[in-house]
């Protein structure tokens, strides 16, 4: 996690005109918990980060910081596989043809 998570949390809270009490109520935690996060004494769990990102309209990676490059590649591969698995045979054949053309043009 980014070492400036608390600063990001506080900045976003203020930018949205929210009090610590407002955020605590939305996330079903105590205002003291939010204060501790903002002051770097606590880190938010992944679930809390996700809720906070949704509450403030930012991406989870903005709050959490950069993702390790190898993990990012693996996640992209998994996403591609999930999409391809949902395609029918005809669509898969079209995709393969398109990829072959695309790779040939980019050599």
Domain ranges of the chain: 5-64, 69-105
If you average pLDDT over residues 75-87, what whole number do you get?
A: 83
The architecture that CATH gives domain 5-64 is Orthogonal Bundle (1.10)
Nearest Cα neighbor of 98 from 83, 79, 90, 75 is: 90
Best CA proximity match to 20, nearest among 37, 43, 3: 37
pLDDT averaged over every residue in the chain = 87
pTM of the model as a whole = 0.58
Residue 104 predicted with pLDDT over 80:
yes
- Structure confidence at residue 1 (pLDDT): 41
Confidence at residue 72, expressed as pLDDT on a 0 to 100 scale: 59
Are residues 92 and 81 in contact, defined by beta-carbon separation less than 8 angstroms?
no
């Amino acid at each position: 996690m980014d070492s400036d998570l608390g600063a990001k949390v506080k900045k976003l809270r203020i930018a949205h005109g929210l009090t610590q009490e407002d955020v605590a109520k939305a996330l079903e935690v105590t205002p003291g918990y939010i204060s501790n996060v903002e002051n770097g004494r606590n880190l938010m769990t992944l679930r809390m980060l996700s809720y906070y990102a949704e509450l403030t309209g930012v991406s989870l990676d903005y709050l959490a910081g950069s993702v390790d490059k190898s993990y990012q590649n693996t996640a992209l591969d998994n996403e591609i596989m999930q999409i391809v698995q949902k395609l029918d045979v005809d669509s898969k054949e079209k995709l393969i043809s398109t990829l072959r053309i695309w790779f040939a043009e980019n050599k």
